[in-house]
């Protein structure tokens, strides 16, 4: 039975890369009828914030994907301590009493990259170690990385293939800090072993940690899970995405607030580093879950495109418009509700259902809703240039004639697509103008702009009363 976990640390907001890690874990779990676990890695009390944790949950809720089990590392500290002591008792760890400042100096003197251990601490006799600990002297518990002889730690990554690192290149890393709290390595492996995680799917930046983790699993007598590391997400200039450098692009909420459909954002994230091996791009999460496999994951870093002017990737925007277009009208209408409310509008019952099909092609994201659909709700319309009322190759007198005629005709016409179509085409013929010359003044009068959804459907939604009020107002503008 496959068991996977997504293990965010609540030290920042939900990062685009973390969201993708979550989704890939979810896909793998669902593909194999496995178990998806959410584990909050909150052992670093100094860096955790409630705001960060809230933003992680907000982001996950917005994505709308579920999980089966949930844990919090800070509630499992006893387990971490017990397993650390098991490693110690088995001789795979030792106490390092070097005071923090001195340790930093030594590491500095050696060059932090080549520091391996403090030999006098590594070789400290057990009795002396016990005596100093009993006397309350603070210590860091360090893993005793095998050195004589050194050996290669190897594993086969599901994405990156065969991996190997000599223990000569791994320092005696800490399992417990001097305050007794577990390090990430200790807490993570203890939990992964205890929760019987079968596959660890996480960012490629953790690949080098994996050698240490394998040492810990071995020392615990546990079978190491399988590992799948995911390619990094990078900026167009090749730099790793970071909040400090790239600002809002890295936050999931930027896309949410830009009016993305979560299903489109998920689709976009899946294509960052994975592909279905056919030409499909627009896919639902269930379609992806049906075929998701590690073989589809690329080793090369995935570029998120954005610029200083626009934090949104154009591919994401395109996918969003595809997903918007594919939504059933009633779903679209109900998803528009919060955006209408956000714009301060109170649609009449059923009104969004009428508007949704008229505007869906004009929106790339829900954020466009306010500018695309405002004329359905704003009365009077925002000011516009009366020159817009005058059709190309027309004159003001013609526009006035059109609007006069339209007023008469629309006072009696049936306000349906066909009713309006017939009435307005007949009116155009009567006064000797082309259909386009007839429609433009009416469209601008009714919508306040030349580019708007199809005229007859739009008028049908606006209704006779409001349309006539707006025609009158436009006529007054033309005459003044
Ligand atoms: N809490 C760790 C992080 O956020 C988890 C890494 C892992 O998946 O092991 O980076």
CATH class of 243-323: mainly alpha
pLDDT of residue 377: 97
Which of 106, 212, 243, 282 is labelled catalytic? 243
Four-way CATH pick for 78-176: 3.20.20.190, 3.90.800.10, 3.40.50.11740, 3.40.50.1970: 3.90.800.10
Alpha helices, DSSP H, located in 247-350: 252-257, 262-270, 285-291, 314-326, 329-342
pLDDT of residue 385: 95
pLDDT of residue 383: 95
What spatial distance separates the first Cα and last Cα of the chain, rounded to whole Å?
78
Ligand 1 in reach of 9 Cβ (< 6 A): yes
pLDDT in tens, 142-169: 999 999 899 999 999 999 999 999 999 9
Distance from residue 8's CA to the centre of ligand 1 (Å): 6
Q: Can you tell me the distance from the alpha carbon of 217 to that of 215, in angstroms, rounded to the nearest whole number?
A: 6
What does each C-alpha distance from 461 to 176, 242, 396, 465, 469 come to in angstroms? Answer: 67, 46, 27, 11, 14
CATH class of 386-479: mainly alpha
pLDDT of residue 12: 87
Task: Return the percentage of the chain with pLDDT > 70, whole number.
Answer: 100
Mutate which of 193, 195, 206, 212 for ligand 1? The one with the most ligand atoms within 8 Å of its CB, which is 206
pLDDT of residue 271: 97
pLDDT of residue 460: 97
21 CA: nearest ligand 1 atom: 8
pLDDT in tens, 213-225: 999 999 999 999 9
Nearest CA residue ID for atom 6, ligand 1: 7
**Pairing mode, if any, of strands 174-176 and 140-143?**
antiparallel
200 CA: nearest ligand 1 atom: 8
Q: What is the pTM of this model?
A: 0.93
Domain 3-73+186-233 grouped into CATH 3.40.50.620: yes
pLDDT of residue 30: 98
Q: Can you tell me the distance from the alpha carbon of 105 to that of 20, in angstroms, rounded to the nearest whole number?
A: 39
Ligand 1 in reach of 73 Cβ (< 6 A): no
| Structure tokens that stand for 90 in this block | 């088995």
pLDDT of residue 468: 98
What does each C-alpha distance from 466 to 193, 327, 370 come to in angstroms? Answer: 68, 30, 19
18 CA: nearest ligand 1 atom: 4
Where does 367-440 show beta strands of DSSP type E?
none
Beta bridge partners of 274: 297
Where does 339-383 show beta strands of DSSP type E?
none
pLDDT of residue 109: 79
| Ranges of the chain with pLDDT below 50 | none
Beta bridge partners of 228: 201
**Pairing mode, if any, of strands 233-234 and 302-303?**
parallel
Residue 434 designated active-site: no
pLDDT of residue 101: 83
């Amino acid at each position: 039975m496959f068991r996977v976990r997504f293990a965010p640390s609540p030290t920042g907001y939900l990062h685009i890369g973390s969201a993708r890690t979550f989704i890939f874990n979810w896909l793998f779990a669902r593909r194999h009828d496995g178990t998806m676990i959410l584990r909050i890695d909150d052992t670093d009390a100094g860096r955790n914030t409630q705001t960060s944790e809230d933003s992680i949950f907000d982001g996950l809720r917005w994505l709308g994907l579920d999980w089966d089990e949930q844990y919090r590392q800070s509630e499992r500290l006893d387990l971490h301590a017990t397993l650390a002591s098991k490693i110690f008792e088995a001789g795979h760890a030792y106490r390092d009493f070097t005071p923090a400042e001195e340790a930093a100096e030594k590491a500095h003197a050696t060059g932090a990259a080549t520091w391996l251990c403090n030999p006098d601490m590594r070789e400290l006799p057990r009795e002396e170690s016990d005596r100093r600990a009993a006397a309350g002297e603070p210590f860091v518990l360090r893993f005793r990385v095998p050195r004589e002889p050194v050996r290669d730690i190897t594993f086969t990554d599901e994405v990156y293939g065969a991996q190997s690192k000599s223990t000569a290149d791994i320092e005696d890393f800490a399992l417990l800090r001097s305050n007794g709290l577990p390090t990430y390595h200790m807490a993570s492996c203890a939990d992964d072993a205890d929760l019987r995680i079968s596959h660890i799917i996480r960012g490629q930046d953790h690949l080098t940690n994996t050698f240490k983790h394998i040492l810990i699993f071995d020392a615990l007598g546990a079978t190491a899970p399988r590992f799948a590391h995911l390619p990094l997400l990078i900026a167009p200039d090749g730099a790793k995405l970071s909040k400090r450098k790239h600002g809002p692009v890295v936050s999931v909420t930027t896309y949410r607030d830009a009016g993305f459909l979560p299903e489109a954002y998920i689709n976009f994230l899946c294509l960052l580093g994975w592909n279905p091996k056919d030409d499909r791009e627009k896919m639902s999460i269930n379609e992806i879950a049906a075929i998701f496999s590690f073989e589809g994951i690329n080793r090369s870093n995935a570029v998120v495109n954005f610029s200083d002017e626009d934090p949104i990737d154009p591919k994401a925007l395109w996918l969003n418009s595809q997903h918007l277009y594919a939504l059933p009208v009633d779903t679209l209408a109900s998803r528009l509700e919060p955006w209408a409310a956000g714009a301060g509008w109170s649609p009449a019952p059923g009104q969004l259902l009428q508007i949704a099909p008229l505007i869906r092609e004009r929106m790339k994201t829900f954020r466009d809703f306010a500018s695309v659909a405002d004329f359905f709700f704003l009365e009077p319309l925002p000011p516009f240039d009366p020159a817009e009322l005058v059709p190309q190759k027309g004159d003001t007198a013609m526009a006035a004639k059109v609007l006069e005629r339209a007023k008469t005709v629309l006072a009696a016409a049936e306000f349906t697509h066909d009713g309006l179509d017939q009435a307005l085409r007949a009116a155009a013929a009567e006064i000797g103008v082309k259909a386009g010359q007839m429609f433009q003044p009416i469209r601008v009068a009714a919508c306040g702009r030349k580019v708007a959804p199809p005229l007859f459907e739009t008028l049908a939604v606006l209704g006779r009363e409001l349309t006539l009020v707006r025609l009158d107002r436009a006529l007054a503008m033309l005459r003044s």
